[in-house]
Each structure stands twice: as C-alpha cells, then as structure tokens.
Amino acid sequence: MSSQQTDSSNSDVNSTPISTLASNAIHKIEERIGRDEGGRGMRHLVVPGDLLRAAETLARLRASDNGDDDNRAHVVVLSGFPCRVNDDPPTETDGPPGALAIARAAVGLGHRVTIVTDTCNEKVFRAACRDVGMWATTSDDSSSSPLMTLEAYPSEESMTEEDRIKMNRLALRNKGCDLVIACERAGPAQDGRCYTMGGVDMNAKDLIAPLHQIVMDEKSATENEETQGLVRFIGVGDGGNEMGMGKVLESVRTHIKNGSKIAAVTPADCLIAASVSNWGGYALGAAAAVVRYDDQVRGCYHQKDSEKAAAVDLRGWVERCVPTEQDEIELLDRCVQAGCRDGVSGKMESTVDGMPLETSLNCLREIRSAALSMETEEEGEIIACTFE
C-alpha cells in the first residue's frame, strides 16, 4: 500500500510533499526512538520513512474543526499486551501510555477515537483514561457523541455472538472506521498464537481477544481498486511480536531472540519500530503535529496570506498532540495503582521495559524538542522550504 491517505476535501495539501524543515524534524524523531535502548535488536525492524508516512495519514484524515462530530474521522486504537501472565491484571506499563498518546493526538487533530483492548487489561486502561480531559469517556457512558471511547473484549473462547457483532462493527468494511493503529498490541505468530518475548503462549492463559481480526477484516475489505493505495493500518511495536510487525517478518526472525517462534505475521501499511512502544506513540503524535502545522502554513502561502501563515502555531499543535512529562507521570501512577506492572521486571512501579521512568521522560522531552525545532528557523527559510 502507498504512503499517503488522501481526502478529497483537502487534496491539494495531501498531494504535496511536506517541507524539508518538517521532514527533517520528523527524521530527528524517528532517529531518537530507534536507538534500541533495550538491546533487543529492534533497530533492524525500523522502516525508514514510515513514521513520516504514518504521520501524514493521521494528520490528513478528514477533520472536524467546527464541532460536527458526524464529520469526524474514526480512528481505532488497538492495544494491550498481557505478558504478566501469572499476575492479575497481567497488563504491562508499555502500551497504555502509548495508546493514550495516540488517542490524544487523534482527538487533537479533530478525529474521534475508540481504544480497544482485552477484558483482562480493561481495569488498567480505564484507569489510564481517567483524568485525561473532557474528551475521555467509556463506551457505557451516557454522554452523547464522546470523542473517545474504550471497549474491551474477552478471549476467543469466551466471546459471545454479541461480542463478535460489536467488534465486527469496527471494521472498515462496515464504514465504522477510517484508520486502525495498533500500539504494543499482541500479534499472532505463524501458528496463530500470541507470545511474550520469552516465548510464553498468552492464548493458553485465555488472555487474548482476537482483535487482529479487525485488521484482517479491514485488509480484506480494502483490497479493491477504489481503496488500494490508502494507508489503513499503522503498527507501533518494539519487539517483533506486536501487530504490524509482519511487514518486517524476516528481520524479526533473523535478529530478534525467539524470533522464529514469536514473530507476529500481521503486516502494517506503516510500521513504527521504537525502543519502547510508548515512545512510538509519542513520536506519532509529535510527527502528526508537525505535518498538520506544515500543511496549514503551506496552505496559507498558497493563498498568498503570509499574515495568516505567521499566526499558525506549531507549539499549539504539539501541545494538542503530545503529552507532557507531568501527563505521563500521572498516567503511569494511575496505571500502577490499577495493578499494572513493568513487563520486564514484574514490579508494580512506574518503570517501562525495565527502564527507569526518567528514561521515558527524557525521550518524551527530546521528541517534543525535535518537533518544535522548526520554530528556530527563520521565516524566510520556512517559506523557501514550503515550495520545494
């Protein structure tokens, strides 16, 4: 599939490459998240340029800036990796923050979001969704037209017909979804089972909902002349066993420990490989903010309105689309209070993949800084780059 989703209401912007300044900023972000701090070999899974292509897709979905909820694009975010199979809940700290960061960005860009996870992870994700702003609610809330909802599904063996019908309505073929993004979402291997990095079968513990079927339904529903070439599925992962990693299947099998067993086979149209999946979520939000800013500035100059272009606020887009350090500290605190654990150490604390919280906060700080680096350029340089 191609690297860009096009919306007819904004075709001029979508058919034009972003500026060199914006591309450079996103390249900095992509480099920052791909350093392989965990030492797992994930640098071999990076697809250069896919962060940019994913950001273009998310930023250029149809948006509603006038409050018309019916006109908002619908983004489905899949997450949940219940690798702590002997704990209750089995949820790890890598996943919920990244999923919430993506949801934040999607809502900030004018879309509506459904976060989908397994029933076993629901408690933690509900805690993560608390106190994140007026746009957060859950699917059983009575509020009209919520901008973000949370849905949870049981394992394949425990699903009812009602569950299947409800999950199926998220598929693109039913026109209920415009884009699926999986962030640290357990993906089935060649044998259909979902494995931890150590090769533990999570399906055997009755933990995994068949959320990959949403993507499989979408892939089959979009393989036609009208929709071929559109990005419909973005994957974010760090270990090769997450949904989307099928795009680099042989690299996972070659470079990741236990790769031949755990490699997830579902391919993404765009794959964001990061040292920590949460960081990939931050990166996607920041890169999408850069794309939206760049598109707005370019649109103003095409209209020969330099005054309006000067008023476009990059910092405002970053604030809307990227969490702050304090946001993440509080979110992880809520997750841990709900029973979430570090997936590597097993400790119920605000560490992620065995790394101190400060490591994640440093990465978030650098991602925000890279996105805002366009602010340091002179206006003349921005104008010049706009028309390259």
- Domain count of the fold of the chain: 1
CB within 8 A of 276, min separation 6: which ones?
Answer: 33, 37, 38, 94, 238, 352, 353, 355, 360, 363
Q: What's the domain range around 248? A: 8-386
Asked, for residue 73, whether it belongs to a domain, the answer is yes
Q: For the chain, which ranges sit under pLDDT 70? A: 1-16, 63-70, 132-145, 172-176, 217-230, 301, 305, 307, 309, 376-388
pLDDT at residue number 173: 59
DSSP helix/strand/coil, 355 = strand
- Using one digit for the tens of pLDDT, what is the confidence trace for 268-282? 999 999 999 999 999
Domain-located, residue 2: no
- 1 falls within a domain: no
List the CATH number of the domain containing 159: 3.90.1640.20
pLDDT score of 312: 80
- Asked whether residue 3 is assigned to any structural domain, the reply reads no
Residue 51 lies in a domain: yes
Residue 344 lies in a domain: yes
- What does the pLDDT read at residue 226? 54
The pLDDT, as a whole number, for residue 365 is 99
pTM, two decimal places: 0.89
- Alpha helix positions (H), the chain: 11-14, 20-33, 50-60, 96-108, 122-129, 161-168, 212-222, 249-255, 259-262, 277-302, 306-311, 314-321, 325-337, 357-372, 379-386
User: Does 36 map to a domain?
Assistant: yes
Which residue type occupies 136? A
Please report whether residue 224 resides in a domain: yes
